[in-house]
Amino acid sequence: MSGKIKERRKELGITVQELADKAEVSKGLISQIENSRTIPSLMVLMDIIKSLEIDLNSFFKDINFHKKMLLCW
């Protein structure tokens, strides 16, 4: 998931700060998410996906969730 966010941000040619501004979260949070240091809440994730102009189905396609991640939700 973090890789998809970072990859899409770079495809769009926007900075971490620009994505943070669009998603209305901190630059630090985006950085932590992109570097797999934290898992965003569902609402924050939705805001990020919307800011990256990605279709929800496309974003979640081919993402492999680990059992540990599923237990956190």
* Tens-place pLDDT, residues 24-64: 999 999 999 999 999 999 999 999 999 999 988 888 776 66
pLDDT of residue 64: 62
Other CB atoms within 10 Å distance of the CB of residue 24: 10
In the predicted structure, residue 68 carries a pLDDT above the cut 50:
no
In the predicted structure, residue 66 carries a pLDDT above the cut 60:
no
What's the pTM?
0.80
From residue 12, how far is each of 20, 47, 65, 73 by CA, in Å? Answer: 14, 16, 25, 29
In the predicted structure, residue 67 carries a pLDDT above the cut 60:
no
